[in-house]
Amino acid sequence: MASNNTAAFSTSPSPTCTLVPQEPLLPGVSDNVLAIILPTIVYAVAAAFFHILDTYGIFSNHRIHPSEEELKRNHVTKWECLKSVVRYHIMQISIGLVLNHGSSPAMIGDEACRTHTTALAFRSLGNIVPMFLTSLGIDAKRLSLSTASTSPTFAQFLAGSTSTIPHDTPTSLELALARFTLDYLYPASQYALALVIVDTWIYFTHRLCHVNRTLYRLVHAQHHRLYVSYAYGAVYAHWLESLFLDILSFVIAGEVAQLSARQSMVFGTCATIKTISDHCGYVFPWDPTRAVNGNGAVFHDLHHQSWGLKYNFSTYTTFWDNLLGTTWADREAATKRYQRARDMTNKRGPLAPGTVSVVGIEKAIAEGKGD
């Protein structure tokens, strides 16, 4: 009995923590700098991968458009597009370096102290349980002690600070909850907040660029010169759009969500891959982005068509489009209009023999609830 009680209320004394600079992931390159340049590296690698697929006709049966449509429908050459993309990444890196000038490396070594403090915070929250039981006329302390031998975890939950444990000494349960919160729940909430900010910012600024004719004509129309998008043209846009719609959204999200340099690496890398995926022009059956929320290559390609400009403004989720009724949902009409575009392209010059596009476009839209 005594050993079980000891296990139930095992405690941890207050640790001693000393902060030290965190070693960089790459020797000689600070994590802050790596977080700035990594999205560009990922962009170049991913874009090169899809460019190889385009060049050699690999997986052509998964293309949304026949390759000839790129040349016959787009209003910008690939060289002009590439120059704009290079400009974008120069802007992104330059702004990142300026904003992070003088930044110090992250300090580590206080994990045990933060865990201890968080565990004690759970102790305070735990007071709610015994207080509630007491209000019902139940002796929480006695109930806790009586269950300690059979269910130590439940006994700790019931005890709160009514147990004989010193107030500044957390229990093993409180420490476990604290570690889980700091290692998983808190970082997940940071990523979720950053995603909400970026997704919301891009949806409404993107939609504004379509609603306001002046903004569309002077700024956003440049991006829509690509009727048939391809991977490395994902960030092809007017420099004002690159700055205010894209780069600024990530700066705000990183600051508000308080992402660390290494968290920014993860977030920026995932966002880059998603952007490339949206513009790659391919629909693969194993596309994880489409499986999660239906926002994938077809979802965004519909927006790039002249008849889909007022739909599918979202980039990372379909939340705002679905909520505000701007999701393209007419699968049959989309299929017919895609076919009409191919027929018109074919009239301007025959497609290469054997060149095919996605024949299951309607199925792709149906499976992705818009993609």
pLDDT given for residue 3 in this prediction: 44
Residue 5: inside a domain, yes or no?
no
Q: Is residue 288 part of a domain?
A: yes
Better-predicted residue by pLDDT, 291 or 74:
74
**286 & 349 share domain:** yes
Specify whether 75 is located in the same domain as 126. no
96 and 215 assigned to the same domain: yes
Tell me which of 159, 178, 197 is where a domain ends: 178
pLDDT value of residue 213: 95
Please state, for a pLDDT cut of 70, what percent of the chain lies above it: 81
SS3 per residue for 77-118: CHHHHHHHHHHHHHHHHHHHHHHCCCCCCCEECCHHHHHHHH
- Give the rounded distance of the alpha carbon of 204 from its chain centre: 17
The mean pLDDT of 253-276, rounded to a whole number, is 97
For the CA atoms of 80, 267, 108, 10, the dihedral, rounded to the nearest 10 degrees, stands at -170
What's the whole-number mean pLDDT along residues 6-24? 71
Q: Are residues 69 and 166 in the same domain?
A: no
Domain boundary among 137, 160, 178: 178
According to the model, what pLDDT value does residue 82 have? 96
Contacts 24+ apart (CB under 8 A), 119-123: 119/12, 119/170, 119/171, 119/174, 119/175, 119/177, 119/178, 120/168, 120/170, 120/174, 121/178, 122/170, 122/174, 122/177, 122/178, 123/160, 123/161, 123/167, 123/170, 123/171, 123/174
Q: Is residue 19 part of a domain?
A: no
Q: What is the pLDDT of residue 273?
A: 95
Report CA-CA distances (Å) from 22 to 223, 266, 294.
Answer: 41, 17, 39
Residue 166 clears pLDDT 70, i.e. is over it: no
Give me the pLDDT at residue 349, please: 53
Residues 232 and 130 in one domain: no
Indicate the SS3 state at residue 73. helix
Percent of the chain, pLDDT > 90? 52
| 126 shares a domain with 246 | no
* Higher per-residue confidence, 35 vs 170: 35
Arithmetic mean of pLDDT, 291-300: 84
More confident residue, 324 or 142: 324
Given this model, what pLDDT does residue 226 score? 93
Query: Is the same domain home to 306 and 213?
Result: yes
Residue 2 in this model has a pLDDT that exceeds 70: no
pLDDT of residue 285: 79
What is the pLDDT at residue 5? Answer: 44
Q: How many domains does the chain have?
A: 2
Tell me the pLDDT of the chain averaged across its residues: 84
pLDDT of residue 170: 79
Asked if residue 331 is part of any domain, the answer here is: yes
Residues 95 and 117 in one domain: no
Q: The domain containing residue 119 runs over which residues? A: 109-178
Is residue 2 one of the residues assigned to a domain? no
Tell which wins on pLDDT, 186 or 5. Answer: 186
- pLDDT at residue 352 tops 90: no
pLDDT score of 172:
81
Please state, in angstroms and as integers, the Cα–Cα distance from residue 338 to each residue in 12, 76, 228, 305, following that order: 65, 20, 11, 9
Tell me, yes or no, whether 168 and 153 share the same domain: yes
Residue 345 pLDDT: 62
pLDDT digits (tens, 9 = 90+) for 35-80: 999 999 999 999 999 999 999 989 888 888 877 777 788 999 999 9
Q: For residue 94, is pLDDT > 90?
A: yes
pLDDT score at 130 = 73
Domain termination residue (choose one: 141, 157, 178):
178
Task: Quickly state the pLDDT bin for 360 (edges 50, 70, 90).
Answer: very low
Asked if residue 1 belongs to a domain, the reply is: no
Which comes out higher in pLDDT, residue 138 or 244? 244
Whether residues 94 and 120 share a domain: the answer is no
* 115 shares a domain with 36: no
Residue 43 near residue 203 (C-beta atoms within 8 A): no
212-237 mean pLDDT: 95
User: Against a cut of 0.85, is the pTM above it?
Assistant: no
Please report whether residue 7 resides in a domain: no
- More confident: 277 or 155: 277
Residues 161, 247 within the same domain: no
- State yes or no: pLDDT of 185 exceeds 90: yes
Whether pLDDT at 147 is above 70: yes
Q: Give yes or no for residue 356 having a pLDDT over 50.
A: no
Higher pLDDT, 318 or 331: 318
| 227 occurs within a structural domain | yes
